[in-house]
Amino acid sequence: MTQPITLAALEQLIRARDASFPAPLQAAYQDDRRKFLEVAARTLMPRTIIGYNLFLPIDIWLLPKTAGLTLALHLAVVTPFMIYAALLIRRESRPEIRDAVLAFVPILITLQIMLIFRLNTGQNAWCYQYLAILVMVYTNISQILGFRFALFASAGTMLLYLAAVLTSAAPEPVKIISCALMLSTGYLSLESKAALERGNRNQFLRRLRERLQRYEAEDVASRDALTGLSNRRHLDERIETIWAAKNPAQKIAFVMIDIDHFKLFNDEYGHPAGDHCLKRVAGAISSVLRGQDDLAVRFGGEEFVLLLPDTNVETAIQIAERVRRAIESLAIPHAHSPTGHCVTASLGVAAGTAAEDSAALIIAADEALYAAKRNGRNQVHPPFMALEAKPAKVRRSAG
């Protein structure tokens, strides 16, 4: 099972800066970046196509000898591939495939530039080959690529450039200056790319930290400080959410729970023992919950309430009986309890649908609770046996 990311772990990663992400966090980072990268890449590729072809008149003017081949490479090879890459970006959700295709764009442009350069001689050709250095800048500064793919594209561009220049007939000073410019541009632009990626990852960690801090604050605000159960504010929010869904057929059940003779317990054992008792009872109640949809709430003092969505009265009574037994099985001593020698609880159940008023259902559950108290405590009302005897008449009975 994947461990959740904690605030302490995030703080450590933020301080480390260059630390690699654990697999779950890396997946979250990729998902966080995906939409941004898709939008950026979609806008960047059309601009790249336009910008690339704006150099076509310069190519033809500088090197008219290969004007036909330049035109063919621009319009029949490189531009169609960039159009294909742009279309792929729109439908490909996997970032690895998208980045791999995008990484070949600068390599292909460099290949076109260096091919035309090698087919020409003279000063115009020596000037023309410097355009490949702009491609390196574009690869690492403008193009939206992960660092690994940017490194791959840069290496391919650099190798093509160096091989073409060093094996050309250009003068030695041109070769030296050209290679120095390409190597320094590649290094500096890759450094900028790495710094940008580190910044993006750090920003992601900080946004995630703020989100977790907000969630923790909201969680604290919605929980009872003593027992850790939800508080009445959270109960009101859940009720509002369920009733706002406007599904009148949805079944809803409430279970009111009250610890029997709790005042006597506090008087005998003291308030610290009373707080400890409340915590243990809250743990017993939580142990019966079926999942995240069930909500256990400290209603006030020694009273608790269960909100059970999609639950009919029969199931709610069964759950309430399990809660009663779980509390009794704690065997917390209660020497002066008229009900027994350990802590027990009385429970009242009411069920209905979202078409009914939630406050009325809570009142009905509270009335059922008092019926359980009148009938001797340490029991659920209505009892399941009575429900089997009169299923049509028991739903919000107060006894």
Q: Three-state secondary structure along the chain? A: CCCCCCHHHHHHHHHHCCCCCCHHHHHHHHHHHHHHHHHHHHHHHHHHHHHHHHCHHHHHHHCHHHHHHHHHHHHHHHHHHHHHHHHHHHHCCCHHHHHHHHHHHHHHHHHHHHHHHHCCCCHHHHHHCCHHHHHHHHHHHHCCCCHHHHHHHHHHHHHHHHHHHHCCCCCHHHHHHHHHHHHHHHHHHHHHHHHHHHHHHHHHHHHHHHHHHHHHHHHHHCECCCCCCECHHHHHHHHHHHHHCCCCCCEEEEEEEEECCHHHHHHHHCHHHHHHHHHHHHHHHHCCCCCCCCEEEEEECCEEEEEEECCCHHHHHHHHHHHHHHHHHCCCECCCCCCCCECCEEEEEEEEECCCCHHHHHHHHHHHHHHHHHCCCCCEECCHHHHHHCCCCCCCCCC
pLDDT at 328 over 60: yes
Contact 157, 139 (CB under 8 A): yes
**Parent domain of 200:** 7-214
Q: Is the peptide bond before 333 cis (omega within 30 degrees of 0)?
A: no
* Active-site residue flag, 303: no
State yes or no: pLDDT of 153 exceeds 70: yes
**Residue 308, beta-bridge partner list:** 253
Reported confidence tier of residue 1, pLDDT bands at 50, 70, 90: very low
Q: State what percent of residues in the chain have pLDDT above 70.
A: 92
Same domain for 182 and 252? no
The neighbouring-strand residues paired with 354 are: none
Taking only Cα atoms into account, the Rg of the chain, rounded to an integer number of angstroms, comes to 36
Domain shared by 204 and 156, yes or no: yes
The domain that contains 316 carries what CATH number? 3.30.70.270
What are residue 305's DSSP bridge partners?
A: 256, 297
Same-domain check for residues 176 and 268:
no
Residues 323 and 259 in one domain: yes
Output the six-digit token pair for 325.
Answer: 């037994």
Paired strand residues for 349: 255
Same domain, residue pair 245 and 363 = yes
Pairing relation of β-strands 295-300 and 380-381?
A: unpaired
Catalytic residue among 92, 237, 302, 328: 302
Do 147 and 26 lie in a common domain? yes
- Answer yes or no: is pLDDT of 226 > 60: yes
Does 179 lie in the same domain as 96? yes
- Give the pLDDT confidence score for residue 27 in this predicted structure: 77
Does residue 8 have a pLDDT over 90?
no
Give the alpha-carbon dihedral of 369, 371, 372, 375, to 10 degrees.
Answer: 160
CB 387 within 8 A of CB 394: yes
Give first-to-last CA distance, the chain, whole Å. 47
8 Å CB contact between 195 and 141: no
Task: Please answer whether residues 161 and 111 qualify as being in contact, where contact means their C-beta atoms are separated by less than 8 angstroms.
Answer: no
Cα gap 208→6, rounded to integer Å: 10
| Domain end point (choices 214, 246, 277) | 214
Same domain membership, residue 266 and residue 236:
yes
338 occurs within a structural domain: yes
Res. 396 pLDDT band, cuts 50 70 90: very low
pTM above 0.85, yes or no: no
Q: Are residues 46 and 77 in the same domain?
A: yes
Per the CB < 8 A criterion, the answer to whether 230 and 297 are in contact is: yes
> Domains in the chain: how many in total?
2
Quick check: is 314 in a domain? yes
CA 154 to CA 62: how far, in whole Å? 26
Which candidate, 381, 384, 363, 364, places its Cα nearest to that of 372?
381
pLDDT 10s digits, 257-295: 999 999 999 999 999 999 999 999 999 999 999 988 999
- The mean pLDDT value of the chain amounts to 88
The residue among 342, 346, 340 whose CA lies nearest residue 320 is 346
Q: Cα–Cα distance between 20 and 222 in angstroms, integer?
A: 34
pLDDT, one tens digit per residue, over 290-312 is 988 999 999 999 999 999 999 99
Q: Is the separation of the CB atoms in 114 and 164 below 8 Å?
A: yes
Domain co-membership, 381 together with 354: yes
